[in-house]
Copies of this chain bind each other. A is one copy, B any other.
Amino acid sequence: MTDAEYMNIWMRPERPARGPKPAYSRAQITEAAVRIADAEGLEAATMRRIAAEIGAGAMSLYRYVPSRDDLVDLVADRLMAEIDLEGIPSGDWRADLTRYAEGVRAMWLRHPWIATVHRSRTSFGPNQLLLIERLMGVLDAFVSIDENLSLMAILNGYVEGAAREEVSRAEELRRSGLSESEWMARSGPRIHQLLESGEYPIFRKIVMEARQPHLSRDDQFRYGLERVLDCIAAALPSTAEPPVAAHREGQQDRDD
Binding site for B on A (CB under 8 A): 5, 7-8, 10-11, 115-116, 118-120, 123-124, 129, 132-133, 136-137, 140, 143-147, 149-151, 153-154, 156-162, 164-165, 168-169, 171-172, 175, 183, 186-187, 189-191, 194, 199-203, 205-206, 209, 214-215, 220, 223-224, 227-228, 230-231, 234-235, 237, 254, 256
- Least CB distance from A195 to B in Å reads 11
* Other-chain residue from B129, B154, B203 in contact with A132 (beta carbon distance below 8 A): B203
- Least CB distance from A97 to B in Å reads 14
**A237 CA to B151 CA, complexed, in Å:** 24
Find chain B residues with CB under 8 A from A183 CB: 7
* Other-chain residue from B118, B133, B206, B220 in contact with A200 (beta carbon distance below 8 A): B133
A-B contact pairs, 10 of them (CB 8 A): A116-B118, A120-B172, A124-B187, A136-B202, A147-B256, A149-B206, A149-B209, A153-B161, A154-B227, A154-B231
Task: Give chain A's interface secondary structure class.
Answer: helix
Find chain B residues with CB under 8 A from A169 CB: 120
Find chain B residues with CB under 8 A from A162 CB: 153, 157
- Least CB distance from A212 to B in Å reads 11
- Least CB distance from A214 to B in Å reads 6
Structural contact, A231 and B237, CB atoms closer than 8 A: no
Find chain B residues with CB under 8 A from A231 CB: 154, 227-228, 230-231, 234
Q: Which residue of B lies closest to A188 (CB)?
A: B7
Most-contacted residue by chain B among A11, A158, A159, A237 (CB, 10 A): A158
